[in-house]
Structures are given as structure tokens and as C-alpha cells.
Amino acid sequence: MRWNKISDAVIRRLPLYLRVLDDLAEESEAESISSQELGVRAGVGPALVRKDLAWFGEFGKQGVGYEIGFLRDELRKILNLDSKLPVALVGVGSLGSALTRYHVRRFEEDASFNLELVALFDNNLTKIGDSVEGIPVYGLEDIKHQVKEKGLKIVIVTVPAQSAQDVVNQFVDAGIQGILNFAPVKLKAPDTVHVVNTDVSLELQRLAYYVPSVSPN
Amino acid sequence: MRWNKISDAVIRRLPLYLRVLDDLAEESEAESISSQELGVRAGVGPALVRKDLAWFGEFGKQGVGYEIGFLRDELRKILNLDSKLPVALVGVGSLGSALTRYHVRRFEEDASFNLELVALFDNNLTKIGDSVEGIPVYGLEDIKHQVKEKGLKIVIVTVPAQSAQDVVNQFVDAGIQGILNFAPVKLKAPDTVHVVNTDVSLELQRLAYYVPSVSPN
């Protein structure tokens, strides 16, 4: 891992900047963008934009701003998205299938997205051997083999809470390094494995804080 | 809004603490918990646990820790989850339907969860009038009426990127105060409306940073 000391709060914003640059490259002829405009479009203050990017090099020029194509390429390299990264998903239930469809559409819309869902896993015998959106569904006993064969680095976990840790252990043993967890449970993983939790119910509870509770009518 | 100055980073952790307390209340007879143990279970350092909770009052006792039932009730009140909060979802495609099923299951498992999905919205005439998991699907022209009638405060947005802003404007006009956005687009909303973005592709791109890109085999 490079730039070990950079906080995850910074890393979290890089894909936002990248998306703004991708959109700009598509919709306009502009060659450069100011930190001000990049900030407005990403929803981040201009000083923070400059500070975030300065962690990785001197990308901007005084009075000119950032060269769009160059910064886009650099951000892709920093995020390991300069070549296709193969991704797996485990748990082909309704959420898993929906995310698979969502992801495949997202990928078709933007080929430079560079995250490609290439393998699905499930423990349901009626699903194994089948496919969703053309992506094959393997049994859990194939995890080790497929992770190696397909060079899988990241797995999206959409299994029920009670089986999540067991399934994750198998992926960690097989050498996976990143986990996007949708199961409503805190997963244990070695420090070398990065876990991002996306728990919809926790996000809703957080939103509830900002919503004064007045009863209807 | 109370406690205006408290950062969202603190608010984000409160549902985690609440989940730990809910689990504890179910699985053990323990009446109190130390900040140490609460921290380990929530994946947060004990000093931060104490600091976070101190924003809202003196909940802990030296040498005893936190009284589980009491802290649980207080956290519910802080998060506006002491009574049921009605939630809407707009965009009953594959992701929207999957989240509806996920949410209904989550709610059945834990009645004290207190976020209840009560109305779905879509612009597809073949879906309007139908229901998913017993929850009715309304047309977009019913947003204003339903938000008022059902006292809807929060809406989950799972429509395509290009229609997200337009749909959100209609909910904002109708008086919604919290938005959980799954559409891969930055939404504009007044300061009085709180928006939480959950973009799966951004999360994956963030994860990619932590995964050294070595080609397979």
C-alpha cells in the first residue's frame, strides 16, 4: 500500500473528483478546471480539493487550475483503476442480483469505469452453474480456485448476517484484499484486508437524526 | 434540529452503538457495559465512545460503565427512533425492489428498529397501484398527497441518475427532510434537507485504492 498515512476521508473523495472529471470530459471541450469549480461539482470546498490532491503530487497550476485529462489519468492510477479490476459478489439473493444488474449497467454506460464484476458465488444448488446478466454463479467450494484464476481482489458481500463472517473468512483465506459489506454485521478481517461497510439500515438511522419527529397530521 | 454543532462523524457512529446495545439486550442478561466493550463491539476506540456520548449527556458512571437499557432508550430518542418513522422509496426497479424486501425483513426481525417503509413511488404505469411486500406503489403525482397523509420524512431514491434531481425536487417541495440517495449523481437540495449518498460504484472505487493492482497469475 502506497501513501500509508493518507486518511480514508481523503480517499473517499477521490472517486467523487474522478466522476466530475469523467463527466466534464464527456460533456465539454474544456481542457482545465479550477479547484473552485471542481469543488462545487463534487460538493467539497476548493481549499479541501487542493489539499486532498496535494497529497499525491503537484497537479494544479496557479491561475490555470487542473488539466482535466491529466488529473483524470493520475486519479485512475492512484485508485488502481488504470486497468480493469476484477470483482466478485457473494450472495445472489434479491439484493445481490439487483446490485449485479446495477453494476453491469453502470459498466456498460462507462467503459472507463474499470471495475468489472466477473464472478458470483452462492451456496444455493439451484443457483450454482446458472448466471445473472451473463456472469456465472459458482459454489462456495470454488472460491479459492476462482479467486486465483480470475485474480479477484474485491468481493461484494450480500449474504445474510449470520453467514457473512464464515463466507468472508473463506474469501480472506483465498487472498481477497477488499470487502464491500452489505450484511448488517461487523466483520472481522486481518489488517491487510480493507472492509467498507454499507449498511442501509444504519444510514437510515443516521438520517433519522436530522429529521425532527413530529407526528403526522 | 438540536445539537447543531455535532459533526456528522459522531452521528454516523450512534446507530452502531445502538445496534450493539440492541444485540446485547437480546443475547445477555448484562445490565451495564464498559466503554471498552462497547467500543470493541462497535469497532471504535473506547475514548471516542466516551467522547461521542458525552455530547448528549452524562450517560456513564465511573467504574460501572453505561446502563444498557437506559443508554439504548436515550440513543433512540437522540436519533428520533423512539417512535416509528415512516419512510418512502421512489424507483421500484430491481434495486428498489431488493431494498424493499431487505428492509421489510430487517423490520420483521427487529420491531424496535422503528423505521417503517410505508409507501413506494414509480412513474411506470404497470407498477402503480401494485404493491411490493404489501407496500403500495403510488404514481409521482401522488407524492405531495402521500407525504402529507403518511407524514413521510425520509425518502430512499433508487431512480436512474437522469431522473433523480427532478424526482427529489418533487419530494423536497412536498416537505421531505431526509434523502438516502442511491442514484450515482450529486443531488441539489436546500440546507434544511439532509442528503446521504450511498453510491455503490464510488465505494468500490474507494476500495480499489487499497488493493494493489497485480495482474492475475
What pLDDT is attached to residue B7? 86
Q: For B191, which residue in chain A has the nearest alpha carbon?
A: A210
pLDDT value at A216 more than 70: no
Choice between A206 and A108, residue whose per-residue pLDDT is larger: A206
pLDDT value at A172 more than 90: yes
Q: For A23, which residue in chain B has the nearest alpha carbon?
A: B185
Q: Which CATH number fits domain A8-78: 1.10.10.10, 3.40.30.10, 3.30.1330.50, 3.30.390.50?
A: 1.10.10.10
Question: Which of A132, A168, A206, A215 to mutate: most B Cβ within 10 Å?
Answer: A206
What pLDDT is attached to residue B213? 57
* Residue-averaged pLDDT of chain B: 89
Band the pLDDT of B216: cuts 50, 70, 90: very low
Domain made up of B85-203: CATH architecture = 3-Layer(aba) Sandwich (3.40)
Looking at residue A10, its amino acid is V
Q: What is the pLDDT of residues B78-107, one digit of tens each?
A: 998 888 889 999 999 988 998 898 888 877
ipTM, two decimals, is 0.83
The C-alpha cell at A72 is 483524470
Percent of chain A surpassing pLDDT 90: 56
Q: For the ranges B37-46, B64-73, B102-111, which has the lowest average pLDDT?
A: B102-111
The C-alpha cell at A68 is 482535466
Contacts of A18 in chain B (CB under 8 A): 205
What pLDDT is attached to residue B125? 95
Domain boundaries, chain A: 8-78, 85-203
As beta bridge partners, residue A138 has A121
Whether A90 and A158 have beta carbons less than 8 Å apart is answered as yes
Q: What is the pLDDT of residues A2-18, one digit of tens each?
A: 555 788 889 989 998 99
- What is the rounded CA–CA span in Å between residue A143 and residue A88? 10
Choice between B29 and B215, residue whose per-residue pLDDT is larger: B29
- What is the rounded CA–CA span in Å between residue A156 and residue B201? 11
Q: What is the pLDDT of residues B41-56, one digit of tens each?
A: 888 889 999 999 999 9
Q: Which of B179, B200, B214 sits opposite A102 (nearest CB)?
A: B200
The stretch B58-77 carries a mean pLDDT of 90
Q: DSSP 3-state assignment of A53? A: helix
pLDDT value at A108 more than 90: no
CA separation, residue A69 to residues A12, A18, A23, B23 (Å): 21, 10, 11, 49
pLDDT value at A139 more than 60: yes
Looking at residue A58, its amino acid is E
Choice between B109 and B22, residue whose per-residue pLDDT is larger: B22
Q: What is the pLDDT of residues B169-204, one digit of tens each?
A: 999 999 999 999 998 788 999 999 999 888 788 888
Whether A113 and A107 have beta carbons less than 8 Å apart is answered as yes
Q: For B189, which residue in chain A has the nearest alpha carbon?
A: A43
The C-alpha cell at A8 is 480514508
Q: Which of A199, A163, A99 is nearest to B97 (CA)?
A: A99
* Helical ranges in A28-80 per DSSP H: 35-42, 46-54, 68-78
- What is the rounded CA–CA span in Å between residue A61 and residue B129? 56
Contacts of A79 in chain B (CB under 8 A): 205-206, 208-209
